[in-house]
Amino acid sequence: MRKGFSLVEMAVVLVIIGLLAASITSATKLVRVTSYNKLAKQAEEIHSALKNFVITYEALPGDMTNAESLWGTYNSSTNPTGTVNGDGDGLINQYVVSSNRESLRAWQQLYKAEVLRTNYTGAEGSTVATDIEIGVNVPDTALTNVGAQIMREATYGATSNWYYKGGNFLQFAKEVIRDSGATEYLMAASFTNKDTYIYDNKFDDGVANTGTVRGAYGRELDDSGWTSCDYSSISGTDLTCIIAIRYGYF
């Protein structure tokens, strides 16, 4: 004779499945919260390093005009560990192909000033695909494949949409792409609206365009345009945001 499950047995199985699903969801949330806590701690450490640098040298790393006199002039052949002077405008300019790479040199000079423990090259890679490489010329973070970049407020065509209103920003993103004009390296959107909102709400005011934490627009990975980071809808799974930490008083 065939014997099926009784209603009680089925109920027990459903309860067990529910408990397992709940535990998996809770574990996932715990991992995310732990990672975000680590990310926030790293942001604080970088902020502290920037403050120490400014106090010591009265200039921003990457932007300072006398860096070469302190740490030697960069030459790819004769002095590859040297550095490059910035323009001294009080902003860490984004990585532009024709520029002095202030956003890359900043990390190198923070290490040379002994306020960061990790050495970064300060120079771009040998090919377009690796010109900005996480862990080599920009730091990696607590989140898998997420790198950090210090950069001035956006100066791109979509400035008004980036929610940037002056100052320098620490940006977290998984991808950095070279724009179609081959002139700038742009941070690609790497977080969903929901994840960015959760981080913003946990560590700031939960509003994308105010406070210290900003939910910034990013570039589409195919360089087709700009994404829309919008906390009004947090149900989607599209990568639409960059997490940006404003250091506006430097």
In this prediction, what percent of the chain has a pLDDT beyond 90?
33
- 209-228 pLDDT tens trace: 888 898 888 888 787 888 88
- Residue 54 Ramachandran class (φ > 0 left, ψ -120 to 50 alpha, else beta): alpha
**Distances in Å between the alpha carbon of 188 and those of 102, 105, 243?**
19, 21, 11
Confidence of residue 86 (pLDDT cuts 50, 70, 90): very high
Summarize the confidence of residues 16-29 as an average pLDDT: 56
Taking 60 as the threshold, does the pLDDT of residue 22 lie above it?
A: no
Instruction: List the structure tokens of 45.
Output: 């450490």
Predicted pLDDT at 236: 82
Confidence of residue 70 (pLDDT cuts 50, 70, 90): very high
Predicted pLDDT at 250: 54
Contact of 152 with 169, CB cutoff 8 Å: yes
Taking 80 as the threshold, does the pLDDT of residue 191 lie above it?
A: yes
Confidence of residue 156 (pLDDT cuts 50, 70, 90): very low
Taking 80 as the threshold, does the pLDDT of residue 178 lie above it?
A: no
**In the chain, alpha helices (H):** 7-57, 67-71, 102-112, 193-203
Distance between CA 3 and CA 237 in Å, rounded? 44
Contact of 188 with 221, CB cutoff 8 Å: yes
When the pLDDT of each residue in the chain is averaged and rounded to a whole number, the result is: 81
Confidence of residue 53 (pLDDT cuts 50, 70, 90): very high
With both helix axes pointing from N to C terminus, report the angle between 102-112 and 7-57 in degrees, rounded to the nearest 10: 80
**Distances in Å between the alpha carbon of 133 and those of 47, 114, 247?**
21, 22, 23
Predicted pLDDT at 87: 92
Confidence of residue 112 (pLDDT cuts 50, 70, 90): very high
Predicted pLDDT at 74: 93
Predicted TM-score of the model (pTM): 0.80
Contact of 210 with 201, CB cutoff 8 Å: no
Taking 50 as the threshold, does the pLDDT of residue 158 lie above it?
A: no
Map residue 191 onto helix, strand or coil. strand
Predicted pLDDT at 161: 43
Confidence of residue 34 (pLDDT cuts 50, 70, 90): confident
Sign of CA dihedral 22, 195, 43, 73: positive
Summarize the confidence of residues 53-76 as an average pLDDT: 94
